[in-house]
Structure 1
Amino acid sequence: MNKFENKVYDFIRANNMIDPGSTVLAGFSGGADSTALMLTLCSLSKVLNIKLVAVHVNHGIREEAIEDETFVKNFCEEHDIECVVYKKDIPKLSKKWKMTEEEAGRRARYEAFTETAKKHGTSIIAVAHHQNDVAETLLMNLIRGSGLHGAGAIRPVRGNIIRPFLCVDRAEIEKYLKGKRQLFCHDKTNDENIHTRNIIRNILIPKMEKEVNKKAVAHLCRAAIEFAKADGYIQDEAEKVYHRVATEKEGNVVINLTDYRQEDDAIKSGVILRSLESLTPSRKDITSAHIDSILILAEGTSGTQTVDLPYNLEAVRSYDKLTIGIKDTKNSSYSEKEFEIPSNLDVGDELEFEIPNLGIAHIRVLQYNGGKLFPSAAYTKWFDYDRIQRAVFRRRKPEDYILLEQEQTLHKKKIGKLMTDEKVPITIRDEVYLLTDGSNVLWVPGVRMSGAYKINNKTGRILEINIDNGGFFNG
């Protein structure tokens, strides 16, 4: 047992990760991290008294996927490790599950783990997350607008998932592999700085380590651990309040606002998060902007107001009662349904709505840094966010108009006249959802965009909207 393996061994014991005699399933992609994990657990298998089973999922995305699979099989054969391989069409599954390929890949992997665990009569799943992953996740979540919960560390043990490498960083892993003269597979997409995590991993963190503090990763990890402790305490207290002020009824959570309003703001946020947790399989798409919108909604005292949320949820406040649950499409007319984009979004915030007859609208706020290269796709548009008073997706109203560019000036046209000129079928005109700011129409998706909200040299923030499919106008 070398120094690296001894460090991991001590970490496993300190966190009570594995009982002697257990079967441990280890995710094995063939990359540096998972190869090091397999090598380490293999080396420690006797002292830990465990049986090791490798689980590999071929995502069917990269051309090198079959080479990765072959590497994994050969490694396991060489080290006498049982290997279970799954082949999944991730691009197809991502469309079926309505999520990104990265999210679909993660879900497919954990489904493979669950299936293998049942067959082997075990529940322990080891994954190769390390300290750099914690630092990257912390920065990514903070930049995207997550609160304290999102800033919390990836835990060493969460349920049946263990992470033995949270005591080491990427440099230590690479040094360990080099010392063992162990080859591994390299995913070229990790070098492409087109995704948020890759930008943080390949540009931001190295720059921080070089120009700010060489121990930036370790310090970020320590901060994430402290955030997790604070979050754990708040969530425990919020859980007590939740059971006192909230009732789960017919797929909804109903909160008594009279009692709820007596609590500290941190506990209020925790109660809202707890409510959403009981209704959704994941909180990934629930951002701080959504939580803030519900908190503001809950402080109101008159009439009835609604906030739309991801996962086809909505929050409805009626006087001193707040109900969070699945949207009631039976009792609410879609002709009156509106989808408001919060005016308090910050750069990096993201959210989405499912809009009737259009599809999923993915929304995010960007910082404009100059340049004239704008999206050209029919269903991806940029708007000057700071010029918009109240952005709402809704159906047309008689007073609606759009400002169109003509000879470098803006000309006003009634929205009904625009639909006639653009040959929008009269049978669907009342079903089309528009992006509006009062009576001023910013965008008729698939038809025309207003010239009044375009990006210019005075733009500070960009409101980007991308719609998955074009509904009436797709194709």
Structure 2
Amino acid sequence: MKDLVANVRSQDLFSPGETVVVAVSGGADSVALLDILSRLEIEGLKLIVAHLNHCLRGTHSDDDEKFVADLATGYRLPFVAIRVDVASFATAEGLSLEDAGRQARYAFFHEVARRRGATGIAVAHHLDDQAETVLIRLLRGAGATGLSAMKASGANLVKRPLLKVGREDIERYLKERGLTWRTDESNSDTTILRNSIRHELIPVLKKYNPKVTERLAATAEILAADEELLDHLTAGAFDRLASSVDDEVSFGIKALLQEHRGLRLRLYRHGLNELRGDLRCIALTHLEAIDRLAGSSRPNARLKLPGDLRVKRCYDRLSFTCAEPSVPRPWELVVPGEGSYPLENGMTLTVRRVPPPEDPATGSRKIAYLSEDAAPFPWLVRPFSAGDRFTPLGMTGSQKVKELFINEKLPLHERGRVPLVFSNGEIVWVAGMRIGERARVTSKTGAVLRVEILEITP
């Protein structure tokens, strides 16, 4: 058996004494990951076991949660769990179950990391997952950016220590260590694309190359290195060619057209990502349309891209903006105490007293636990207004709410829908996003208020 502990240690993904949230589903991969990280004695990691119950498999999901809780107890590690109705979330957001589950998991893991001061989130993706991801993206249509797939040290704290380890090595490790794990029977459902690729396509490809998973993973690694270089070159060109003022990114067309077409397309992606924070629904056809607009003989023209993105040519300037959000009608609501309060933006705010939770991090972005002593009634709830400031949980200085929206990559058109909860004139919760430091629940907190916002998009 390969020494997986030495393999993980050699990657230098963690610093000595680092606090790390370990995502544990109860499956073979995550059980192995937890065991390996617990054996990195030299690093002395402070591990927190996090589990999201997807509520998709009835009592089986509950049994998974109990299994992981018992596992954490066996390792004498703190355990944090949350239950999310992923099926309802998928329906409400128009997502597949896989995408909805992934979004819910990462939102939860990041919330736990934020509340516990963790600087890493360890997930159990391995070499076979990498190969499957490459094939999924290839089948759906992707360039080098998409095919570079996952990195061992990804964005937003995420780390993948097992990315160069195959599934067979992981299962061999578990058996030699005498460890048990849970099996999710839905993993054999070949109506799900990833499962179909795992159980049907890859076995066929192995007839042509028995090491196809290793070759696909190696290809992803090579492309990732190329992407890192190209991103660096693009960022340099962007700094040289683009100007960013307020909520607009613009280029001088003459200088832009002197660059290679491939770099121009990357610059457009970079500019759009600067504005919205992601590239959802932006395809090659949209980038090519922008390039045609830049090279057009028409001095003035516009493009409407998916979502709220707009591209405008005005003589020698090409500008990227977000559509101005409609200004919502001002409203206010006074919350005198416990209850359920419909808001004028179509959301509902619920407030009730609860026993102090063992760990306030068991909340989520849409659920917050506040100290009633620190945030007494009556509350005032209203939409965001320019100039609003608050002190976020864990900070000492104030921050503009607008800066929070920008850091969270919240699109302009959604910002006016986010309710702000005030107590004694101070923001105690930016609903669905961040608690104010003043309302923090501590070990000395008496009455605790569970606050939930329903039907919110962030």
Normalising by structure 1, we get a TM-score of 0.63
Q: Work out the number of aligned pairs and report it.
A: 324
Query: Is 1:170 aligned with 2:167?
Result: yes
Asked if 2 retains the 8 angstrom alpha-carbon contact of 1:127 and 1:161, the reply is yes
User: Within the alignment, does 1:315 sit opposite 2:311 as a pair?
Assistant: yes
Distance 2:247 2:122 in 1: 34
1:138-287 to structure 2, matched below 5 A, reads 138-159=134-155, 160-209=157-206, 211-287=207-283
Which residue in the other structure is 1:29 paired with?
25
Alignment of 1:232-381 (within 5 A): 232-327=228-323
Does residue 7 (structure 1) correspond to residue 4 (structure 2)? The answer is yes
Q: How far apart are residue 322 of structure 1 and its match?
A: 2.4
Aligned position for 1:121: 117
Q: Residue by residue, what CA displacement relative to the aligned partner does 1:30-76 show, whole Å, maximum 9, x if unpaired?
A: 1121111112222x232331122110011222222111111111222
TM-aligned CA deviation for residue 317 of structure 1: 3.4
Which whole-Å CA distance do the structure 2 matches of 1:196 and 1:315 have between them?
A: 35
Which SS does the other structure have where 1:46 is aligned?
coil
Structure 1 pair 153–100 and aligned structure 2 pair: CA distance change class (3 A):
closer
Distance 2:315 2:34 in 1: 57
Contact 1:245 1:256 in 2 (8 A): yes
Q: Distance in 2 between matches of 1:38 and 1:106?
A: 19
Shift in CA distance, 314/133, structure 1 to aligned 2, threshold 3 Å: farther
Q: 1:241–1:132: structure 2 CA closer, same or farther, 3 Å change rule? A: same
Contact 1:45 1:51 in 2 (8 A): no
- Cα distance change of structure 1 residues 311 and 179 upon mapping to structure 2, 3 Å threshold: farther
Distance 1:21 1:96, change over 3 A: same
Structure 1 residue 306, shift from structure 2 partner: 4.1
In 1, Cα distance between the equivalents of 2:257 and 2:91? 41
Letter of the 1:130 partner, please give it: H
Inter-CA distance 9–66: structure 2 relative to 1 (3 Å threshold) = same
Partners of 1:26 and 1:52 within 8 A in 2 = yes
* Deviation at residue 202 of structure 1 after TM alignment: 2.0
SS in 1 for 2:145: helix
Counterpart Cα distance in 2 of 1:72 and 1:248 = 47
1:309 and 1:34, CA in 2 relative to 1: closer, same or farther beyond 3 A? farther
Among the aligned pairs, what percent are the same residue? 30
What is the CA distance between 1:98 and its match in structure 2? Answer: 5.0
Q: Which residue of 1 aligns with 2:62?
A: 66
SS in 1 for 2:41: helix
On the 8 A contact 2:4/2:36 being kept in 1, the answer is: no
When residues 291 and 198 of structure 1 are mapped into structure 2, their CA distance, relative to the original with a 3 A threshold, is farther
Identify if the C-alpha distance between structure 1 residues 78 and 158 changes in structure 2 by more than 3 Å, giving closer, same or farther.
same
The 8 Å contact of residues 25 and 126 in structure 1, kept in 2 or not, is answered as: yes
Structure 1 residue 84: Cα displacement: 0.8
Which SS does the other structure have where 1:45 is aligned?
coil
Give yes or no for the alignment of 1:111 onto 2:107: yes
Q: Give the unaligned 5+ runs of structure 2.
A: 327-458
In structure 1, runs of 5+ residues without a counterpart are 331-475
Q: Retained in 2: the 8 A contact 1:151–1:224?
A: yes
Match of 1:133 in 2: 129
Q: Which deviations, in whole Å up to 9, do the C-alpha atoms of 1:360-387 show, x marking residues without a partner?
A: xxxxxxxxxxxxxxxxxxxxxxxxxxxx
| Cα contact 2:33–2:162 (8 A) shared by 1 | yes
Give the partner amino acid of 1:186: T
User: Displacement of 1:165 after TM fit?
Assistant: 0.1
Per the alignment, do residues 329 and 22 of structure 1 end up closer, same or farther by CA in structure 2, a change over 3 Å counting?
closer
Alpha-carbon distance between aligned partners in 2 of 1:102 and 1:190, rounded to the nearest angstrom: 11
Superimposed CA distance per residue, residues 363-415 of structure 1 (whole angstroms, 9 cap, x where no aligned partner): xxxxxxxxxxxxxxxxxxxxxxxxxxxxxxxxxxxxxxxxxxxxxxxxxxxxx
Task: Check 1:230–1:38 CA distance in 2 against 1; reply closer, same or farther (3 A cut).
Answer: same
Distance (Å, rounded) in 2 between the aligned partners of 1:241 and 1:308? 25
Q: Distance in 2 between matches of 1:25 and 1:19?
A: 14
Decide whether aligned partners of structure 1 residues 276 and 8 sit closer, same or farther in structure 2, where only a CA change above 3 A counts: farther
3-state secondary structure, aligned to 1:60:
coil
Q: Is the 8 A contact 1:313 1:326 kept in 2?
A: yes
| Residues 288, 192 of structure 1: alpha-carbon distance in 2 compared, 3 angstrom cutoff | farther
What secondary structure does 1:197 align onto?
helix
**1:257 counterpart letter in structure 2:** I
Q: Is the 8 A contact 2:299 2:316 kept in 1?
A: no
1: CA distance, partners of 2:215 / 2:293: 37
Is contact 1:8–1:167 with CA below 8 Å preserved after alignment?
Answer: no
Alpha carbons 1:234, 1:266 under 8 Å: kept: no
> For the structure 1 residues 196 and 304, does the alpha-carbon distance in structure 2 shift closer, same or farther, using more than 3 Å as the test?
farther
Distance 2:5 2:292 in 1: 46
Instruction: Specify whether residues 10 and 173 from structure 1 end up closer, same or farther in structure 2 by C-alpha distance, changes over 3 A only.
Output: closer
Pick closer, same or farther for the CA change 1:302–1:328 going to 2, 3 Å: farther
RMSD: 2.3
Q: Give the structure 1 partner of residue 428 of structure 2.
A: none
> 1:10–1:31: structure 2 CA closer, same or farther, 3 Å change rule?
closer
2:18 touches 2:119 (CA, 8 Å); kept in 1? Answer: no
TM-score, structure 2 length as denominator? 0.65
Kept in 2, the 8 Å contact 1:308–1:315? The answer is yes
Larger gyration radius, structure 1 or structure 2: 1
Cα displacement (A) at 1:318: 4.1
Residue range with higher mean Cα deviation, 285-294 or 222-231: 285-294
Amino acid aligned to 2:69: K
In structure 2, distance between residues paired with 1:8 and 1:298 = 53
Question: 2:50 aligned with 1:50, yes or no?
Answer: no
C-alpha spacing 1:269/1:8, structure 2 compared with 1 (3 Å):
farther
Q: Taking structure 1 as reference, are residues 290 and 236 closer, same or farther at Cα in structure 2, changes over 3 Å only?
A: same
Superposition deviation, residue 233 in structure 1: 1.2
2:125 aligned counterpart, secondary structure: coil
